[in-house]
Amino acid sequence: MAIVLGPNRYGKAETRLVRVHRDGETHGLVDLNVSVALSGDLTATHLTGDNSGVLPTDTMKNTVYAFARKHGVGEPEAFALLLARHFVVTQPQVHGAKVSIESFTWDRLGPHSFRRRGDHTRTTVVTVTEQATQVVSGVTGLVLLNSTDSEFHGFVEDEFTTLPPATDRILATAVDARWRHRDDGADWAKSYEGALDALVGAFVDTYSYSLQQTLYAMGSRLLEARPEVAEVRLALPNKHHYLADLSPFGLDNPNEVFIAGDRPYGLIEGSVTRDDAPPATAGWWL
């Protein structure tokens, strides 16, 4: 009886690439999750740890970002073909390459503003006691992105600060908002649609120096637009997009190729209210 190595492959899974195509004022946005799996003559590393035929998975990830800059990203099929052929053609020990891509679709809200397609959730919490009725409406999972008009600098720096100041960054968030109504008599459909338009409109229109500033703009716009609302609470995750460093590959990166971060993320939370708002009559969110 002999023990033998069976089929195997390896690669970098889930490279999160955001590519901004900046043709003038109107930006294009491609948002991909790219997974690469290579197969070929890989017996040595499995049996003895001889890595002489192993292209690091880290290199595969770098190739995804470098190709995005060099060639741009069009249809996912074309980008996957480009990558898969590259690995098979340039690595003699690689005989097969599988490139899988998930594409996230964004709907345009403006020249450089986008809403990720996919359903956000409308929420309602009603609390009735013998004394009072409270209606809270809200939305979760509304993903918005501005590919410019966002800066972040002038912040506190201590001995642990490494964040470079940003004068042109991506600002993206998944809006989680709740708003408390003054009473129980609103036109709920109209109120919800108006509230959503106000939140989205303020995100799109605000030239932002911090997500905190955008949060306040969104809350204020909602209160201005909807007199029936007494208070808005927002929790905005800062969905970080890191500029990919392509300089080791002789490529510049003029704000076009981004690593979409997963976690950790900044979480900006706050309430915006009216000074004459009736007090809440029940505990609510946040």
Ligand X SMILES: O=c1[nH]c(=O)c2[nH]c(=O)[nH]c2[nH]1
Q: Please give the positions annotated as active site.
A: 12, 57, 240
Q: Which of 29, 53, 181, 30 is nearest to 112 (CA)?
A: 29
Residue with tokens 């594409």: 103
- Tell me how far, at minimum, the Cβ of 171 lies from ligand X, in Å: 7
Q: Which is nearer to ligand X, 7 or 164 (CB)?
A: 164
Question: CB under 6 A: which stretch of 71-79, 99-107, 206-214, 246-254 binds ligand X?
Answer: 206-214
Provide the mask over 142-181, with x wherever binding to ligand X is found by CB under 6 A and - wherever it is not.
----------x----------x------------------
Residue 92 contacts residue 82 (beta carbons within 8 Å): no
Q: Which is nearer to ligand X, 147 or 210 (CB)?
A: 210
- Tell me how far, at minimum, the Cβ of 181 lies from ligand X, in Å: 29
Question: CB under 6 A: which stretch of 48-56, 89-97, 209-217, 226-234 binds ligand X?
Answer: 209-217
In sequence order, what are the beta bridge partners of 22? Answer: 27
User: Does the protein bind ligand X through residue 270 (CB under 6 A)?
Assistant: no
Give the integer Cα–Cα distance in Å for 79 and 15.
Answer: 13
Question: CB under 6 A: which stretch of 15-23, 193-201, 205-213, 270-278 binds ligand X?
Answer: 205-213
- Tell me how far, at minimum, the Cβ of 205 lies from ligand X, in Å: 17
Cβ-count burial 208-247 (b if 16+ within 10 Å, e if not) = bebbeebbbbbbebbbebbebbbbbbbbbbbbbbebbebe
User: Does the protein bind ligand X through residue 266 (CB under 6 A)?
Assistant: yes
118: left (phi over 0), alpha (psi -120 to 50) or beta: left
Supply the DSSP symbol for 10. B
Q: Which two tokens stand for residue 20?
A: 């901004």
- Tell me how far, at minimum, the Cβ of 150 lies from ligand X, in Å: 8
User: Does the protein bind ligand X through residue 206 (CB under 6 A)?
Assistant: no
- Tell me how far, at minimum, the Cβ of 164 lies from ligand X, in Å: 10
Q: Which residue is nearest to ligand X (CB)?
A: 211
- Tell me how far, at minimum, the Cβ of 155 lies from ligand X, in Å: 7
User: Does the protein bind ligand X through residue 194 (CB under 6 A)?
Assistant: no
Question: What are the phi and psi torsion angles at 248 (to 5°)?
Answer: -60, -20
Q: Which of 80, 64, 81, 100 is nearest to 258 (CA)?
A: 64
Residue 82 contacts residue 68 (beta carbons within 8 Å): no
Q: Which is nearer to ligand X, 149 or 228 (CB)?
A: 149
Return the residue of 191, 230, 238, 259 that touches ligand X, per CB under 6 A: 238
Helix axis angle, 188-205 to 211-225, nearest 10°: 140
Q: Which is nearer to ligand X, 137 or 238 (CB)?
A: 238
| Site residues (vs ligand X, CB under 6 A) | 152, 163, 210-212, 238, 266
